[in-house]
């Protein structure tokens, strides 16, 4: 790995960690395009690079989420009842995606799915719709079903699930700061369930680059996780001080550009 690649991955880690704390996202929406680019520059095929980027991104969320949880917990913003209600479904959906569907789909198909969910997430940030004041959270069955959707979609695109969980919680009249903090807490079971599945599914993958563990590219994992853990608490503190609605719109603009790059990668694979 060149020095330039090291600094690029470090910057990605810093940005992902800060955004994880600020907006509750796991950082995958930022990391996947850049890791894909770094791997293709090292001669990895686009199809394999996309899959490795998704898995490596998800692996970093295991570390980022712990740091972010600690920071949000200091503000008492995490709705642990929602974490308990959504986690069983997340484990089921994540296992189904990472152990089965992820291995079947081509990298180009996953890139298209990733782009569509990034566009959806960015659009939700722009619209910032207000829910009906009478709408409430569903019961156990509803939370289990939504958790399954969050875990499954996260497993396919390598993101922490905030692109679904935050809009869902705010739609159910959970305050935005609580939704962001709870989404950060959900990042841990999402990442853990999916990474375990990826490790099992990726044991017999051929043509992997050096320093790989199945689909996980270990140098990127080490660099990004180290930097993101340092910046996640800063983002969490900023979330309770900065105008998050305005920041979401700026971040959404960046997401549209990243989605465009992943679509380009998918159709050129």
- What does DSSP assign to residue 132? P
Domain span at 208:
3-268
Distance from C-alpha of 130 to C-alpha of 144, rounded to nearest angstrom? 24
Give the pLDDT of residue 131. Answer: 59
pLDDT along the chain (269 residues), means of 10: 84 83 67 88 90 90 82 88 95 89 84 83 72 77 93 81 80 85 89 89 85 91 90 77 70 78 78
Looking at the structure of the chain, the number of domains it has is 1
For residue 107, give the 3-state DSSP assignment.
Answer: helix
Give the pLDDT of residue 130. Answer: 64
Residues in Cβ contact with 206 at an 8 Å cutoff, skipping those fewer than 6 apart: none
| Biggest distance spanned by C-alpha atoms of the chain | 55
Side-chain-side CA neighbours of 85 within 13 Å: the count stands at: 17
Which CA distances in Å does 21 have to 61, 67, 86, 139, 212?
A: 11, 9, 20, 28, 28
Report residue 16 as tokens.
């992902």
Give the pLDDT of residue 218. Answer: 94
Which CA distances in Å does 88 have to 28, 182, 189?
A: 22, 15, 9
For residue 45, give the 3-state DSSP assignment.
Answer: coil
Q: Which residues pair with 192 in a beta bridge?
A: none
The whole model's pTM is what?
Answer: 0.79
Residue 150 CA, distance from chain mean position: 11
Give the pLDDT of residue 69. Answer: 86
């Amino acid at each position: 790995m060149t020095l330039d690649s090291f600094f690029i991955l470090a910057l990605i880690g810093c940005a992902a960690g800060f955004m994880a704390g600020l907006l509750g996202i796991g950082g995958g929406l930022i990391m996947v395009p850049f890791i894909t680019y770094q791997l293709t520059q090292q001669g990895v095929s686009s199809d394999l690079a996309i899959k490795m980027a998704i898995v490596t991104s998800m692996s970093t969320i295991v570390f980022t989420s712990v740091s972010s949880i600690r920071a949000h917990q200091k503000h008492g913003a995490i709705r642990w009842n929602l974490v308990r209600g959504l986690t069983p479904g997340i484990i089921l959906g994540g296992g189904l995606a990472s152990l089965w569907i992820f291995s079947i789909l081509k990298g180009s198909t996953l890139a298209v799915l990733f782009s569509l969910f990034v566009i959806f997430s960015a659009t939700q940030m722009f619209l910032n719709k207000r829910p009906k004041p009478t709408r409430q959270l569903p019961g156990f069955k509803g939370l289990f079903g939504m958790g399954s959707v969050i875990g499954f979609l996260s497993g396919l695109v390598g993101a922490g699930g905030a692109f679904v969980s935050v809009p869902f919680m705010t739609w159910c009249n959970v305050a935005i700061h609580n939704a962001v903090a709870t989404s950060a807490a959900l990042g841990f079971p999402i990442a853990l369930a999916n990474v375990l599945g990826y490790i099992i599914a990726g044991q017999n993958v051929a043509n992997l680059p050096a320093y790989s563990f199945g689909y996980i590219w270990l140098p990127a994992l080490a660099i990004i996780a180290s930097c993101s853990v340092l910046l996640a608490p800063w983002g969490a503190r900023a979330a309770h001080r900065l105008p998050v609605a305005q920041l979401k719109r700026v971040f959404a603009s960046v997401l549209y550009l990243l989605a465009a790059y992943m679509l380009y990668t998918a159709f050129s694979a």
